[in-house]
Structure formats: structure tokens, C-alpha cells
Amino acid sequence: MSDLTKKRCAPCEEGTEPLTKPQAEELLKQLEPRWKLLGVDKIEAKFEFKNYFRTTAFINAAIWIAHQEDHHPDIAFGYNNATVTFSTHSVNGLSHNDFICAAKVDALLK
């Protein structure tokens, strides 16, 4: 399990700079390989499930994590798949919060 799962999201203060691409690439190594860096401002992962029930159960659990961490992803889903995208709008890019939440979403499937 990633050390990121033991951390909590922190509010991004005004003027906080987004992570640089090298910083994001280093943090990405702590996540499951399904996570991809999209440009320099988003990370995204695609998940596949056996059926709609499992898909929605996963989404509800991911939403619970987002609520607990007060850091909310974009989620798109279909019958047996979901795509989760994290970005920190307040910094116009990526923050540590994105990687903390992604690691906690990964932990749902372990």
C-alpha cells in the first residue's frame, strides 16, 4: 500500500503553485500503473468491472473518499467501467491532494 493512503488532503492556500511535471511523474510512481498523467494538470485512471452493481459500488466508495478528503474528482461511468480524473482547480493543475485521493481510490480494489 502506498504511503499516500496514510496522508490527508490539505486545503491549497491562495498562491499555491501546482506540481511541476517532474514532481507529478515522481508521485505517479506511487500509484497503480492504470493512472496516467494528462498533460501537466490532470491524472486519470480507467477501471473495469463485471457489472453495473460493482461499477456503482466502486463509484459510491470513491465519492465517499472524495467527501472525506474534501477533494472531488470528475467521474464518468458506464455499465461496467468508470474513469476517474483528478485535478486541483484552485491551483490550475496538480497538487499532492490529487495523488493522495488516487492512492485511496486504488486501495478500494486491494
pLDDT for 2: 66
Determine the average pLDDT of the residues in 77-91. 97
With bands split at pLDDT 50, 70 and 90, how would you rate the model's confidence at 109? very high
In our burial notation (b when 16+ CB lie closer than 10 A, e otherwise), range 36-52 reads: eeeeebbbbbebebeee
Residue type for 43, please? I
Q: Give the CATH number of domain 18-107.
A: 3.30.1360.20
pLDDT band of residue 43 (cuts 50, 70, 90) is very high
- 104's CB contacts (< 8 A; 6+ apart) are 4, 5, 65, 69
Confidence (pTM): 0.95
Evaluate if residue 26 carries a pLDDT over 70.
yes
Q: For position 87, what pLDDT does the model report?
A: 98
Of 100, 107, 105, 110, the residue nearest 28 (C-alpha): 100
Residue 12's CB is within 10 A of a number of other CB atoms, namely 17
